[in-house]
């Protein structure tokens, strides 16, 4: 709590109106000052321990970025750019084996940076291969390995940090609404039969996943906690290990200074680099981010574009709106279900509960900003245009992609304009 108090003192004189108060853990209500603290923590550049101020230290020892905003500029999708065949900030390379464990040496994330005195894990090399039909295949392969080869059983999945706006609305969608869509799709109409991802927690309870490219996390708290742990190497209530993703095989990493060394209160929360009060406020800030507003289109074009979106079959998975608790709507264009997208979009990393070509329907809200920033589309940024992204849709989306391709030039252009405005 001393860390929290220090942040409060620094921000109390400069609180701007951010959003309406939000409910956090239990009956606790977080106000605008709490959201301002969350925003500051989201933007904060963390530093290695030991540091002159204990409120900023704990980065790493292995990490991908120094702050949340590095991979989520303006709370949006990462730039996902390549430099001479090497992935820049905003890409992450997941590592996993079929049983859900990470690589015995490299852990669950291939981290490209490290604190002084600790070897980094290497660089993420990316190969783009033209397929001859206007599409480009993308594969990632770690190079300059700092700790020897990966286990042959370890699979890889290259992913782009997604847009965070509107995630609070998705968090407010009741499980019952997700299951209702799952039941409706169970008939397999048009080949679409998405399924909710079931996750068994440490306490044995089964919950629905909804966040992450493969719906691997059930709520924003655990999604944020995993990002702090894997991306920045910061311990927190859900991941208390102070060394982050360092494995026992990375001995120097395990024994490097951590941000827990100068804790004084003797409580379990004080022994964490990101304690519950700080994590709660970051989660509240993310939950406060509004759904992206669509760009202006003439009313007749928007109506016709929405009709084409539905008749082509896109809306079967990219459901324009889901109900939220309290009678609202999450206008995010997703059903929050896993769908088999075919082998062209598969990676080499199966997960318990999600196959290599299964992906949670990506929200389309914010697509206009992603296109304007040229971040690339799909989970690994490989698609440069809406048309190329659609062309990669196979599996359950194959019929919709085929109907999209069969549209007249006029209708296809209008549908692309509609999608590009979201």
Cβ-proximal residues to 114 (8 Å cutoff; 6+ apart), any chain? 60, 61, 62, 63, 120, 121, 253
Segment 346-372 mean pLDDT? 96
Q: What is this structure's pTM? A: 0.91
**Cis link prior to 389 (omega < 30° from 0)?**
no
| Strand order across the 136-143 sheet | 82-83, 86-87, 123-130, 136-143
Q: Supply angle C-alpha 282, 285, 291, rounded to 5.
A: 140
Among the listed residues 294, 328, 336, 316, the one whose alpha carbon sits nearest the alpha carbon of residue 395? 316
Comparing 323-327, 359-363, 417-421, the range with the smallest average pLDDT is 323-327
Instruction: Encode pLDDT of 192-204 as tens digits.
Output: 999 999 999 888 9
Residue 233 has pLDDT above 80, yes or no: yes
**Main-chain phi, psi angles of 200, to 5 degrees:** -95, 120
CATH number at residue 183: 1.10.760
What is the share, in percent, of the chain residues with pLDDT greater than 90?
A: 84
Q: Supply angle C-alpha 216, 217, 221, rounded to 5.
A: 160
Among the listed residues 2, 136, 121, the one whose alpha carbon sits nearest the alpha carbon of residue 63? 121
Residue 373 lies in a domain: yes
Confidence of residue 26 (pLDDT cuts 50, 70, 90): very low
Residue 136 lies in a domain: no
Residue 268 has pLDDT above 80, yes or no: no
Residue 24 has pLDDT above 90, yes or no: no
Residue 297 lies in a domain: yes
Residue 414 lies in a domain: yes
Among the listed residues 412, 343, 340, 339, the one whose alpha carbon sits nearest the alpha carbon of residue 137? 343
Residue 3 has pLDDT above 70, yes or no: no
Q: How many helices (H) and strands (E) does the chain have?
A: 13, 16
Contact 264, 54 (CB under 8 A): no
In this prediction, residue 10 carries a pLDDT of: 36
Residue 103 lies in a domain: no
Residue 72 lies in a domain: no
What's the sign of the alpha-carbon dihedral 345, 289, 26, 324?
Answer: negative
**Domains: count for the chain:** 1
Q: Which domain holds residue 348?
A: 167-198+291-420
Strand-pairing partners, residue 206, are: 200
In this prediction, residue 326 carries a pLDDT of: 87
Give the separation between CA 145 and CA 412, rounded to whole angstroms: 45
Instruction: Encode pLDDT of 74-83 as tens digits.
Output: 999 999 899 9
Pairing of strands 155-160, 91-96: antiparallel
Residue 265 lies in a domain: no
Give the separation between CA 91 and CA 79, rounded to whole angstroms: 8
Residue 192 lies in a domain: yes
45: left (phi over 0), alpha (psi -120 to 50) or beta: beta
């Amino acid at each position: 709590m001393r860390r929290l108090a220090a942040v409060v003192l620094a921000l109390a004189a400069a609180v701007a109106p951010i959003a309406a108060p939000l409910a956090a853990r239990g009956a606790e209500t977080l106000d605008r000052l709490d959201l301002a603290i969350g925003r500051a923590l989201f933007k904060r550049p963390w530093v290695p321990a030991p540091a002159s101020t204990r409120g900023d230290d704990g980065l790493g020892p292995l990490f991908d970025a120094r702050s949340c905003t590095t991979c989520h500029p303006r709370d949006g999708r990462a730039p996902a750019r390549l430099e001479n065949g090497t992935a820049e900030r905003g890409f992450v390379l997941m590592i996993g084996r079929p049983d859900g464990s990470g690589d015995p040496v490299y852990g669950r994330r291939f981290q490209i940076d490290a604190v002084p005195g600790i070897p980094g894990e290497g660089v993420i090399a990316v190969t783009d291969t033209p397929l001859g039909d206007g599409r480009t295949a993308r594969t990632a392969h770690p190079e300059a390995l700092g700790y020897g080869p990966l286990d042959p059983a370890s699979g890889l999945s290259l992913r782009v940090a997604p847009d965070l706006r509107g995630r609070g609305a998705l968090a407010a969608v009741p499980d019952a609404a997700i299951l209702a869509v799952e039941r409706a799709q169970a008939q397999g109409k048009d080949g679409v039969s998405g399924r909710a991802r079931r996750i068994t927690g440490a306490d044995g309870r089964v919950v629905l996943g909804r966040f992450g490219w493969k719906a691997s996390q059930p709520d924003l708290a655990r999604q944020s906690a995993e990002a702090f742990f894997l991306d920045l190497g910061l311990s927190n209530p859900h991941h208390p290990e102070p060394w982050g993703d360092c494995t026992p095989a990375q001995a120097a990493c395990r024994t490097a200074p951590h941000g827990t060394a100068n804790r004084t209160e003797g409580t379990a929360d004080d022994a964490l680099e990101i304690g519950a009060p700080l994590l709660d406020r970051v989660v509240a800030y993310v939950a406060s981010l509004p759904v992206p507003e669509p760009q202006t289109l003439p009313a007749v074009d928007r109506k016709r574009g929405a009709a084409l979106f539905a008749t082509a079959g896109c809306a079967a998975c990219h459901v324009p709106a889901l109900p939220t608790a309290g009678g609202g709507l999450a206008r995010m264009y997703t059903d929050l279900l896993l769908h088999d997208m075919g082998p062209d979009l598969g990676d080499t990393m199966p997960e318990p509960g999600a196959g290599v070509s299964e992906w949670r329907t990506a929200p389309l809200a914010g697509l206009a900003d992603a296109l304007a920033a040229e971040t690339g589309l799909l989970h690994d940024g490989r698609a440069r245009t809406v048309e190329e992204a659609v062309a990669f849709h196979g599996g359950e989306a194959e019929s919709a992609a085929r109907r999209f391709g069969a549209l007249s030039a006029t209708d296809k252009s209008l549908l692309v304009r509609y999608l590009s405005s979201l």
